[in-house]
């Protein structure tokens, strides 16, 4: 398979694509669906389970990360999504492996697994092979891709699956404010008829634990602006998801075009970057600066990096918002600054 082109250019129709996918599996197969758990990934894995049900002997949904964000835990619980915790030993209990809403280079846990299929909407990476690849980087969510599989197979999602896919769509497109395509809108329109608004409201309203409110106080106390770029460092956090909540909150502030939020977890520096996406590319910025130091990547409007402090030669206790500003400033001097900040005139 040619990995240099998205696979949606390889098939003449969704019917041909789905038939190719299903031919990879038979009744005796035991299938493990792996993903890094966020709403889009969870919903997409849930849809794959529905698609493969009755076609294989066993299907297991397994996130490689611990689900700590409250919205995601509520989603799994009230939509009755059956998940099994991941460990390397689970691999030997399955004959086929599917990676959804990610690609093998994205996480260390994925790198040595012989995936039968990879279905994703993130920018296409290189250096990996699979018998079946469906990477549509122009789509706003992997949930949209899986909805099209369901529609092609004339499978009507029940209320739980429809609500999951709607939530996955909404979160990855930021309620259709960013990265949404016509296909995402059409998927939402059709799934909306089958989802339950009360279940969706319960998931969406479960943003924050009371114990996590203190992080917003820390974030605001440490907040510094450089022109229209916001920087804040929270120190040690209980979950990286707190950094995402803070970054998304700051990204709503008027006259803020870039947001950089940092925190420490397990002696790693976690960086969350947000921008408005207009002539900017957060994923490209973060990957360019930090891919050789740790894990880094994302979309035009949102990105994340995870870097061991030892690679930065900085003690976690000595890190601060000022050092966060210096970290980006120091690295940006090594880059073509115009590539990422061309329209930002203030600094």
| pLDDT tens per residue, range 271-317 | 999 988 777 888 888 988 888 898 888 888 889 999 999 998 889 99
- What helix, strand, coil percent values describe the chain, rounded to 5? 40, 20, 40
Same domain, 119 and 238: no
CA distance 52 to 89: 23
Phi-psi region of 195 (alpha: psi -120 to 50; beta: other; left: phi over 0): beta
Of 187, 204, 221, the one marking the end of a domain is 204
Same domain, 228 and 134: no
Of 204, 232, 251, the one marking the end of a domain is 204
Same domain, 219 and 94: no
In a domain, 126, yes or no: yes
HSE-CB of 194 using CA atoms within 13 angstroms: 19
HSE-CB of 135 using CA atoms within 13 angstroms: 24
In a domain, 110, yes or no: yes
Same domain, 177 and 31: yes
CATH number of the domain where residue 230 is located = 3.10.310.30
Closest CA to 231 of 337, 297, 312, 324: 324
Of 183, 204, 225, the one marking the end of a domain is 204
Whole-number mean pLDDT of the chain?
89
pLDDT at residue 241 greater than cutoff 90: no
Give the model's pLDDT for residue 6: 37
Split into its structural domains, the chain has a count of 2
What does the pLDDT look like over 67-106, one tens digit per residue? 988 899 999 999 999 999 999 999 999 999 999 999 999 8
Same domain, 28 and 135: yes
């Amino acid at each position: 398979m040619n990995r240099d082109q998205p696979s949606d250019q390889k098939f003449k129709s969704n019917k041909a694509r789905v038939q190719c996918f299903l031919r990879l599996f038979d009744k005796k197969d035991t299938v493990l669906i792996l993903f890094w758990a966020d709403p889009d990934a969870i919903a997409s894995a849930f849809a794959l389970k529905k698609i493969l049900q009755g076609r294989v002997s066993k299907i297991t949904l397994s996130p490689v990360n611990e689900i700590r964000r409250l919205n995601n835990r509520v989603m799994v619980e009230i939509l009755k999504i059956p998940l099994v915790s991941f460990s390397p030993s689970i691999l030997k209990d399955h004959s086929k492996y599917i990676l959804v809403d990610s690609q093998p280079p994205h996480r260390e846990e994925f790198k040595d697994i012989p995936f039968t299929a990879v279905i994703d909407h993130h920018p296409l990476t290189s250096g990996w092979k699979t018998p079946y690849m469906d990477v549509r980087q122009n789509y706003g969510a992997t949930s949209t891709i899986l909805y099209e599989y369901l529609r092609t197979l004339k499978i009507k999602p029940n209320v739980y699956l429809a609500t999951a896919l709607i939530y996955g769509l909404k979160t990855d497109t930021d309620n259709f404010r960013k990265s949404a395509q016509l296909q995402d809108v059409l998927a939402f329109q059709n799934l909306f008829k089958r989802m339950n608004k009360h279940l969706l409201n319960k998931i969406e309203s479960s943003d924050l634990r009371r114990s996590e409110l203190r992080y917003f106080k820390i974030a605001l106390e440490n907040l510094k602006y450089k022109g229209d770029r916001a920087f804040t460092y929270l120190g040690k956090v209980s979950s990286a998801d707190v950094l995402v909540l803070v970054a998304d909150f700051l990204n709503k502030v008027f006259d803020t075009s870039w947001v950089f939020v940092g925190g420490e977890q397990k002696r790693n520096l976690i960086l969350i970057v947000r921008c408005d996406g207009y002539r900017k590319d957060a994923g490209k910025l973060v990957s360019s600066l930090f891919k050789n130091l740790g894990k880094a990547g994302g979309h035009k409007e949102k990105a994340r990096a995870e870097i061991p402090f030892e690679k930065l030669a900085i003690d976690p206790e000595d890190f601060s918002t000022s050092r966060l500003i210096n970290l980006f400033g120091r690295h940006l001097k090594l880059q073509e600054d115009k590539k990422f900040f061309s329209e930002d005139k203030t600094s």
